[in-house]
Structure 1
Amino acid sequence: MPLQVTDTTPSSDLKPHGNVVLVVVDIQGGGQPSSFGADKPGYMAGRPERNAKAVDMVARFRDKGVPVVFIQEVHKPSLVDIGRELDGAESVHCVEGDPRTALHPGLEPRPEEYLIQKRRYSAFFGSELDIVLKGYRADTLILIGGMTDVCIHYTAVDAHQLDYRFRTVSDMVIGSSQRAHDAALRAMKYLQRDALVTLEAVDTWLDALPTPATTEEDA
């Protein structure tokens, strides 16, 4: 029988391999009132706190010269590109032009950074993400954002199948429910034993990195 993963305790040690890239998955909303939250039964709370920490986290990665890639789910108003996403629990979402589809304020990519717009749950499916990561010579992907059981999970699965190592920051992802969040964390740990880490583990790793020298051109 396959191994059953029951312990989803995140590690306090990042254990990265090779080059690291932070992948910020679908932290959207454009600063608009969220349709998810404590007022919706079953949905996990804590999105505003996570979003604020994500802004700080991105700033720290930039300060240390570690690449950041931003992911945004977007669909045309015609929904010609939404595929089978409405066959399940989803309603119409992430429509182009809707203010709630925009990235969370403070998470706007810089000119030299990549914004990957996707039409499916996985950030890899039908996108240029793999090409971009190969350009960075990435080995280990750090995943934050949402939802744990949907876009984070499916992105992690494709990362695994493309031979990347991934680290899901368990206190920087939020699921469609606590139960779904926990199940997705178990599924990801089944794929890679070191898959789950804490934000503290990431901060400790960043603290140990040297700060790149600033040139006059950068100043």
Structure 2
Amino acid sequence: MEAYVYGEKRILPDGFADYADPARTAVVSIDMHAGHLSERRDCPCPAPRMREIVKPVDAFHAAARSLGIPVIHVRSVLRKGGVDDVKGIPSAWRRTFPLLVGPIPNSNDHAIEGSPWNEFVTHVAADDLIVSGKKRLSAFYSTDLDLLLRNLGVRIIVLTGGMTDCCVLNTAFDGANRDYRVIVPPDLVRGTDPSLEAGALAMMSIHLGLVMESGELLRVWREAGNGGPSKG
């Protein structure tokens, strides 16, 4: 298996077979909804770099489904009125992120339940699973993602979506702390900018799991499904 270690692609040594079992794997796609991806001027939390991965993410998810690997879509959802956040204890990013990007005029509408901003932009197939209610940065925090994964018998999670240096990174930390084997395809996640994206991927590659291109991961899964080697 090939993976990136601190930005350098390497052939992994033996000892990573527990990352390569498609029967115990699920894809977890994070926040690929209109609140980040819409091109409308009133998009409450625009993440324009994420738009370029919509088609590649859809293609990867389709390939995963064809191999019997479940696809789980996680979305941020806050209660109407904002009591979970803006009218309660506001998320830290609401004050710190504008220091970099400037004011975000409609940010108070981000993730409010029942709004069009919660609609997925990536394809959701009939048999896909949805985890709603993400209220902070990690897909595990305040959701039943861990319960779902354990009931599915999943021990390996593949993270797609955004943002690499924010929600993906936090989810990777929480997943690794729960002893899931975490895989992040760098071609299927996007961050605030290339620099922060690279830094987040480097951190994940040495502390949290494997950073592996989606094509290589599909090759490993198909090889494992055909009874081939799954060591390094």
Common fold by TM > 0.5? yes
- Quick check: 1:12–1:201 contact (8 Å CA) kept in 2? no
Residue matched to 2:183: 167
> Could you tell me how far apart the structure 1 residues matched to 2:53 and 2:79 are?
28
User: How far is 1:87 from its partner?
Assistant: 3.4
Distance 1:76-1:149 versus aligned 2 partners, 3 A rule: same
User: How far is 1:105 from its partner?
Assistant: 4.3
Residue matched to 2:25: 20
1:42-53 map, 5 Å = 45=49, 47-53=50-56
**Greater helix proportion:** 2
User: How far is 1:6 from its partner?
Assistant: 8.1
User: How far is 1:25 from its partner?
Assistant: 0.9
Residue matched to 2:147: 131
Residue matched to 1:101: 118
Segments of 5+ residues of structure 1 without an aligned counterpart are: 212-219
Segments of 5+ residues of structure 2 without an aligned counterpart are: 99-106, 227-232
User: How far is 1:174 from its partner?
Assistant: 0.4
TM-score (normalised: structure 2) = 0.74
Letter in 2 for 1:180: L
> Could you tell me how far apart the structure 2 residues matched to 1:29 and 1:195 are?
28
- Quick check: 2:32–2:122 contact (8 Å CA) kept in 1? no
User: How far is 1:58 from its partner?
Assistant: 1.3
> Could you tell me how far apart the structure 2 residues matched to 1:151 and 1:197 are?
18
1:56 aligns to 2:72 (yes or no): no
TM-score (normalised: structure 1) = 0.78
- Quick check: 1:44–1:178 contact (8 Å CA) kept in 2? no
Deviations 1:41-96 (A, max 9, x none): xx774x33310111111111111111111100112341111243223216432222
1:69 aligns to 2:72 (yes or no): yes
RMSD (CA atoms): 2.8
- Quick check: 1:32–1:99 contact (8 Å CA) kept in 2? no
Residue matched to 1:198: 213
- Quick check: 1:22–1:142 contact (8 Å CA) kept in 2? yes
Aligned counterpart for 2:90 among listed residues 84, 89, 107: 84
> Could you tell me how far apart the structure 1 residues matched to 2:5 and 2:57 are?
28
